[in-house]
Amino acid sequence: MNELLGKKALVTGGSRGIGAATSIALAEGGADVAFTYKSSADAAAKVVKEIEALGRRAFALEVDAADAVAVADGVQGAADRLGGLDILVNNAGVGAIAPITELTLADVDRVLAINVRGAYAAAQAAVPRLSDGGRVIHLGSCAAGRVTSPGMTLYAMSKAALVGFSKGLARELGARGITSNVVQPGPIDTDMNPADGPFAQAQIGALALDRFGTPAEVAAAVTYLAGPAAAYITGTELTIDGGHLA
């Protein structure tokens, strides 16, 4: 339970859903955790309390993931408060599901600003601050590997970009023992995509398992990649999708 004891982690978009579950799971493993959020101050405060109840330090930083300068400043702030940085989890993301003829260029700019540019800015700021042997983990999507329904062009494109980015980072950072990987969730029961929502049954129909996943199941995969057992895993994708790609 203490494989991450003494480690310092930053999770972007860590106040809700998968991000909150990941922040708490890293703390359960022994890490001190900083996380960013945009507007969910009450939810962020709750996550801070849960982490502190585990005996770990926690810091919530208000950062707009679409603002690359703010993202870089957030990384600096997290490293300053934590006293260093060992783990970066690029979790902040947004979806835009609609036919390509209905998506505007403003939609494209917003999704790529958060899902791609924000992740790039966070990693760019984190790399000089990461300890040797550190971890960079990106939250992608099973849609990067297989798109089973229309309306996913923009979202799938943005998540596929993370795969290429992660592989490039793996090559660039390998000499320092820093790994870079993508966790690719399938349908996960969150407030953004609830298991009892109007589109849930269609998603379940594309799975081998007859259910949505949970944020805790994704967080467990992230925590594994952050730990010592995953030191020889880099430049790859760990898919947590209930058989979406089967």
Instruction: Give the chain's mean pLDDT.
Output: 95
- In this prediction, what percent of the chain has a pLDDT beyond 70? 100
In three-state secondary structure terms, 99 is: coil
pLDDT of residue 80: 98
Backbone conformation region of residue 177, classed left if phi is above 0, alpha if psi is from -120 to 50, else beta: left
Per-residue model confidence (pLDDT) at position 185 = 95
pLDDT reading at 40 higher than 90? no
| Range with the poorest average pLDDT among 14-18, 189-193, 228-232 | 189-193
Residue 132 has what pLDDT?
98
- In the DSSP assignment, the letter for residue 115 is I
Split at pLDDT 50, 70, 90, the class of 242 is very high
Cα angle for residues 203, 208, 209 (degrees, 5° grid): 80
The average pLDDT across 71-97 equals 97
Task: Let me know: does 33 contact 56? Beta carbons within 8 Å.
Answer: yes
C-alpha gyration radius of the chain? 17
Beta bridge partners of 61: 36
At residue 42 the predicted structure's pLDDT band, cuts being 50, 70 and 90, is very high
| Longest alpha-carbon distance in the chain | 51
Going from N- to C-terminal start, the domains of the chain cover 8-240
**Residue range 231-238: average pLDDT?**
98
Range 113-141 average pLDDT: 98
Instruction: Note whether 57 and 82 are within 8 A (CB).
Output: yes
Task: Say which residue, 244 or 179, is predicted with more confidence.
Answer: 179
Please determine, for residue 11, whether its predicted confidence score (pLDDT) is greater than 90: yes
Catalytic entry in 37, 155, 224, 232: 155
Q: Looking at residues 142-168, what average pLDDT do you find?
A: 94
φ, ψ (nearest 5 deg) of residue 91:
-105, -30
Task: State yes or no: is 155 an active-site residue.
Answer: yes
pLDDT at residue 196 above 90? Answer: no
The domain 8-240 having CATH identifier 3.30.210.10: the answer here is no
Q: How far apart are CA 158 and CA 115, in angstroms?
A: 6
pLDDT band at 189 (very low <50, low <70, confident <90, very high): confident
Prediction pTM value: 0.95
Torsion of CA 19, 22, 23, 29, to 10 degrees: 180
Task: Say whether pLDDT at 1 is over 80.
Answer: no
Burial class (CB in 10 A: 0-12, 13-18, 19+), 101: exposed
pLDDT at 192: 80
